[in-house]
Chain A
């Protein structure tokens, strides 16, 4: 609380400072929004009210995990799991603990995923949301463990899982331990699935590398936000291998759908309703069919 007060004072001070910008119109940062894709300047209010979607071209800006949960979960229903889990430094990689420490302070996150449970338009589910602000949401021990526990918890509570993925891949700073999280999470998805429980993946920008090659590709139903980057290898790596430029839409959600790897592309404004509809369609059948209804 006391801290908040100080940070506010600081913001105000820097805000009042006249910025030297030669010949440029100075636009206060929080009044207008300039779309990085279409370049059009819009009122920030319009952008924010549309859940960070450009009112002009439909560009979906990345959301923080908190913003995503606010948008998807029914008010006051989200209960967070494993809130205090933090990574250590398994291979003694120089600078890694410092980097993680500063990101914790900066983002308020403990690592790159928030997990928990909530209801979506009345339907209960386990939910996980990855956040790219934290080391590009790379998967190390904490992401692997929290996602594994999410599926295990959902399995024992007989809940469907809705997972918003985003990641640059495995967290190299944790060495081989991070690679093993791919097997661990995929194993947990498999056990949850065997119980006849539903898993919905929502691919958000960017979903790549070891996360694409594990739980992100294993949903019963795979949704993507429009124009989301979805792929295994990085664009520059592929360009380096084949020595030519790749087309603009390569590895977009639309590309993935065209090649059969995405069920549906859903705009952010329709996401909550779509998820709720899918959850309701699965309230009978599978694990919820008859004999074991006490769960």
Chain B
């Protein structure tokens, strides 16, 4: 019996679920973290840096879930501010300059909703990332580690290939937000989760994700090293594939990966009812 979206949400909320801080030393070597957006500040909710994988330098951009309250306070529960997205874009542009592939690790409930975020243009920061990543002249691979929430996740999700950890979810809004807006009842979160179609399999079916990275039975927290190895292996196999594709073709494919997503009819007069 396949796990429901709600079952998976329990797994990704597991206290010991590995975060990017756990994965980094297991997946990459020689990692050096780089800070700041060069405009305003440094957002700890998004980590950026350069490391190697199989000897190939890669730029890593990741949303940082904390492992305890203290870490979560530092990383704002993985909800980035505009300067986080601008840091990610700066480092992506740097990767482009050196023709270094970019690996984005998504793990956020969403972009932060607050006064400072609005004042500094949260909408603009996300929009700019969507447009610029679409044209970034180097391969981009994104992996949803746990929670992929809304535009705040998508800002690191414009890529050549999207992979989902087996128990990860990716949604337009959190199930709780969905229930509270559409049904005016946040307590129907579980019901929302199960009808929103947010599991890895759903996303592959919609053509939004390409790959599912297997997790150990019971979830990544049962054996973080095995989960990290699966991630390492996936990146190691995927990057060379995209490094071989000429840039013009790569960008064309990336555009059509998103261009094709949509469900509509152009039949005249006919109503589905």
Interface residues of A (CB under 8 A from B): 82, 84-94, 97-98, 101, 104, 141-142, 144-145, 148, 170, 172-184, 186-191, 193-194, 209-210, 212-218, 231-234, 237-238, 241-242, 246, 250-251, 259-261
Are B134 and A187 closer than 8 Å at their CB atoms? yes
Are A184 and B121 closer than 8 Å at their CB atoms? no
A-B contact pairs, 24 of them (CB 8 A): A82-B266, A84-B269, A87-B263, A88-B264, A91-B197, A142-B264, A175-B172, A182-B126, A183-B258, A188-B259, A190-B131, A191-B255, A213-B130, A214-B126, A214-B130, A231-B118, A231-B123, A233-B114, A233-B117, A233-B122, A241-B113, A259-B121, A260-B121, A261-B124
- Of the candidates A82, A87, A177, the one having the most CB atoms from chain B within 10 angstroms of its own CB is A177
Contacts of B118 in A (CB 8 A): 231-233, 238, 250-251
Contacts of A91 in B (CB 8 A): 195-197
Known contacts being A97-B272, A186-B127, A260-B121, is A178 close to B264, with CB within 8 Å?
no
By beta carbon, the residue of chain A nearest B182 is A172
Are B171 and A176 closer than 8 Å at their CB atoms? yes
Are A215 and B127 closer than 8 Å at their CB atoms? yes
Are B131 and A218 closer than 8 Å at their CB atoms? yes
> Which of B63-71, B93-101, B149-157 is the contact stretch?
B149-157
By beta carbon, the residue of chain A nearest B178 is A172
Are B172 and A184 closer than 8 Å at their CB atoms? no
Contacts of B21 in A (CB 8 A): none
Q: A179-B154, A187-B255, A190-B135 are in contact. List 20 more A-B contacts (CB 8 A).
A: A84-B267, A85-B264, A89-B263, A101-B271, A174-B263, A175-B172, A176-B171, A177-B208, A183-B258, A191-B255, A210-B150, A232-B111, A232-B122, A233-B111, A233-B113, A238-B113, A241-B113, A246-B115, A250-B115, A250-B118
Contacts of B266 in A (CB 8 A): 82, 84-86
Contacts of A188 in B (CB 8 A): 259
Q: Tell me how far the C-beta of B43 lies from the nearest C-beta in chain A, rounded to whole angstroms.
A: 15
Known contacts being A176-B171, A232-B122, A237-B113, is A89 close to B258, with CB within 8 Å?
no
By beta carbon, the residue of chain A nearest B119 is A259
Contacts of A183 in B (CB 8 A): 130, 134, 154, 157-158, 258
Contacts of A92 in B (CB 8 A): 195
Contacts of B171 in A (CB 8 A): 175-176, 179
Contacts of B267 in A (CB 8 A): 84, 86
Contacts of A82 in B (CB 8 A): 266
By beta carbon, the residue of chain A nearest B153 is A179
Task: State whether the Cβ of B15 lies closer than 8 Å to any Cβ in chain A.
Answer: no
Scan residues 123-176 of chain B and give those whose CB is less than 8 A from a CB of chain A: 123-124, 126-128, 130-132, 134-135, 150-151, 154-155, 157-158, 170-173
- Of the candidates B182, B261, B265, B271, the one having the most CB atoms from chain A within 10 angstroms of its own CB is B261
By beta carbon, the residue of chain B nearest A222 is B124
Q: Tell me how far the C-beta of A188 lies from the nearest C-beta in chain B, rounded to whole angstroms.
A: 8
Are B182 and A216 closer than 8 Å at their CB atoms? no
Top 9 A-B pairs, shortest CB-CB distance? A212-B123, A233-B113, A186-B130, A141-B262, A217-B127, A213-B126, A232-B123, A187-B134, A232-B122
Cα distance, A141 to B114, chains bound together (Å):
29
Q: Tell me how far the C-beta of A227 lies from the nearest C-beta in chain B, rounded to whole angstroms.
A: 16
Contacts of A93 in B (CB 8 A): 195
